[in-house]
Amino acid sequence: MKNKEAIIERQKEFIQEIKNKVSDFINSIDKSEIEAILLSGSLSRGDFFPRIKDGGDIDGMVDLIVMRKKGSRIKAEDVFGPDQEPPIPFHCVKVNNLWYEILFTDFIDADTFTSYDEQKKFSVLESQILYDPNGSYKNELEKIKEYAREDFKNSLNNSLGYIHYLLSDYKKDRWYRRGAFIQLHENLNTAIRAGIRALYYLNGFYSPAEDRAIYYSHSLQKLPEKYEELIVQVCNQKTDSEEDYFRRKKIFMDNIVGFIENKASAS
């Protein structure tokens, strides 16, 4: 697997070229009613790895978070022109052969941040500041991070509690007596996803969306030994097998949940 670090190294020059184009784009727009602009997504992480189409077009989008000034009623169309991809739930424009996917929003303060779902919190905190002339967002970001640190602790405890509930004898017995091993495996899969989220909280991050959580978990600093092998072992499954359920559960509880609980109690 090409991990995040390998992609960052491989794409370093390409990403800098794209960032230069983004900077030119930001400089070209009217920012009189804009408070702050953030670069988000894979370009911010440094692992932007789009497919290059025939003819050289980039099959990917640059993610921006654009915050209007408090009290402003300006709309994305006023700054960026018409939305060129209405089915996508962001304001999308193509400028100089580069697509932008823009979250156009009111100023994000700590109170606003607390109302976001986890994926949106992840997106905000992985972002880089591109434009913040008054330091308004930089100052607010300290309050956001303070809230997040406490939120990680609570989310970690909640995730561990949910894992133990899903895999408890009470839950297991309900399906075991019916021979519903497919349901036991599915409950274990749900617990594994909660365990992966717990690894992010342990490392001081929100979890990204499930369609990328496993991949990016490999780049976390605090991980069980031989994590890459462990995650393959627990994800491989024979859904109608009683024996395989207990095999997977033991690996998961002993090596992943046990690791998280030990690290959490030591911190």
Whether the Cβ atoms of residue 75 and residue 104 lie closer than 8 Å to each other = yes
Query: What is the rounded distance in angstroms from the CA atom of residue 219 to the CA atom of residue 4?
Result: 7
Domain residue ranges in the chain: 4-134, 149-266
Query: What is the rounded distance in angstroms from the CA atom of residue 262 to the CA atom of residue 267?
Result: 9
State if pTM tops 0.85. yes
Q: Give the amino acid at 259.
A: F
Whether the Cβ atoms of residue 196 and residue 217 lie closer than 8 Å to each other = yes
In angstroms, how far is CA 164 from the centroid of its own chain? Answer: 24
pLDDT in tens, the chain (267 residues): 899 999 999 999 999 999 999 999 999 999 999 999 999 999 999 999 999 888 778 889 999 999 999 999 999 999 999 999 999 999 999 999 999 999 999 999 999 999 999 999 999 999 999 999 999 999 999 999 999 999 999 999 999 999 999 999 999 999 999 999 999 999 999 999 999 999 999 999 999 999 999 999 999 999 999 999 999 999 999 999 999 999 999 999 999 999 999 999 987
From 3.40.1280, 3.30.460, 3.30.70, 3.30.420, which CATH number describes the 4-134 domain?
A: 3.30.460
